[in-house]
Structure 1
Amino acid sequence: MKSYVSLCALIIFVTSISYGQTSFKENSFLKTENSIVESTADSGHHYTLLEVVKAANLEKILNEDGPFTVFAPSDMAFKKLSKVSLKELLLPENKKELLSLLTYHIVAGNITASKILKALCNGNGKASFTTVQGDKIFASMDGLDIVLTDKSGNKAKITSADSTQCNGVIHEIDSVILPNSLATANLP
């Protein structure tokens, strides 16, 4: 048990240094006084996420309320979306599904990478977080990377962590994760 705790402490230390080197600050997220929406708009590679936020009418909430932790898929992550067509989700008749998708990437509170790592250590390498949407996402480690997994087994790696905003924190992820309702959806 003692060696596991030591290993967790080492992982937290090393990963904190690693994520510090690839923070959002290198990706144009420079102002911590900005809101989640303002920083997403300024990032240069989250245009699709911003479009989804606006289409789901969550712009005001993510601009003013909080704190929230947003696992933000990059534009490249949205391009990998295969089971659900984003174009179809953006149609007005699919607003409920779009809202479900977006809120599955949001957790209430400020959950930094070090808090995720601490939860992983306390959970013997596994942790779960309940999203604003209501489903759980699961965290694990793959080497020094924090990986999120949805209930269908889709995985997303945190590629940039800990962009602190005035109303929460943003972690960029490399894939879109899907809530149960969309993992099996047959949208037109």
Structure 2
Amino acid sequence: MTIRFPRTAALLLAAAVPLAATPALAEHHQGHSQTIVQAAAGSADHTTLVAAVKAAGLVDALSGTGPFTVFAPTNAAFGKLPAGTVETLLKPENKALLTKILTYHVVAGKITAADAIAAINAGGGKAALTTLAGTTLTATIEGGKVVLTDAKGGKATVIAADVGGSNGVIHVTDAVSLPG
């Protein structure tokens, strides 16, 4: 079944998630010949995320055929975590927890911003996204922007959408989502 959404939703999307918000990722990845991991690796705004993906041993998995939808927190998003959190997560003894957090930002399949908005509209204002961690992120529209609410009630706003890759799509977020 195809979910259709009103033209106003498409206009809302265009206003809500301008791609120019993170030009490094968008400019680096025009043409979609690189995987989502390669696109993130070329972005100055995602060095912390890339370091975490490497520390968790997820580079090969996320470089596979997919498709994947990745909600990619910026360096500034990781910087909002309590002091020392990132350093602690990157330690080898915390690999399982780091993997759980990172896979909480990935959904199997390609979900474009238009798909997400259509699902939110069809769901009466919210859509549940099942992550590779096996738990759910809830997508809503707040203040004209797509917002993800995690299991702990934290909110991450999509600040750039539909950065394409050869094996999926990236949506850049302003916060790190945490599983329950």
- Among the aligned pairs, what percent are the same residue? 40
1:97 is matched with which residue? 97
In 2, Cα distance between the equivalents of 1:93 and 1:85? Answer: 14
How far does the alpha carbon of each residue in 1:125-149 deviate from its partner, in whole angstroms, 9 at most, with x for none? Answer: 1111100000100011112200000
Kept in 2, the 8 Å contact 1:53–1:59? The answer is yes
Displacement of 1:10 in angstroms is 4.2
1:15 is matched with which residue? 12
**Structure 1 residues 71-82: aligned runs within 5 Å:** 71-82=71-82
How far does the alpha carbon of each residue in 1:19-72 deviate from its partner, in whole angstroms, 9 at most, with x for none? Answer: 574257833332311101110011111000000000010111112331000000
Q: Secondary structure at the match of 2:82?
A: coil
Compared with structure 1, are the counterparts of its residues 97 and 138 closer, same or farther at alpha carbon in structure 2 (3 Å cutoff)? same
What amino acid does structure 2 have at the position aligned with 1:152?
A: K
1:122 is matched with which residue? 122
**Structure 1 residues 134-153: aligned runs within 5 Å:** 134-153=134-153
**Structure 1 residues 168-187: aligned runs within 5 Å:** 168-180=168-180
Compared with structure 1, are the counterparts of its residues 30 and 54 closer, same or farther at alpha carbon in structure 2 (3 Å cutoff)? same
Aligned length: 174
In 2, Cα distance between the equivalents of 1:126 and 1:23? Answer: 26
Q: Secondary structure at the match of 2:97?
A: helix
| Structure number with larger C-alpha Rg | 1
- The runs of at least 4 consecutive aligned structure 1 residues that moved more than 6 Å come to none
How far does the alpha carbon of each residue in 1:82-133 deviate from its partner, in whole angstroms, 9 at most, with x for none? Answer: 3981111111111100000000000000000000000011011111110000
Compared with structure 1, are the counterparts of its residues 24 and 35 closer, same or farther at alpha carbon in structure 2 (3 Å cutoff)? farther
So what's the TM-score if we normalise by structure 1? 0.86
So what's the TM-score if we normalise by structure 2? 0.90
Kept in 1, the 8 Å contact 2:41–2:50? The answer is yes
Kept in 1, the 8 Å contact 2:69–2:107? The answer is yes
Compared with structure 1, are the counterparts of its residues 75 and 25 closer, same or farther at alpha carbon in structure 2 (3 Å cutoff)? closer
Gaps of 5+ in 2: none
Kept in 2, the 8 Å contact 1:23–1:163? The answer is no
What amino acid does structure 2 have at the position aligned with 1:112?
A: T
Q: Secondary structure at the match of 1:32?
A: coil
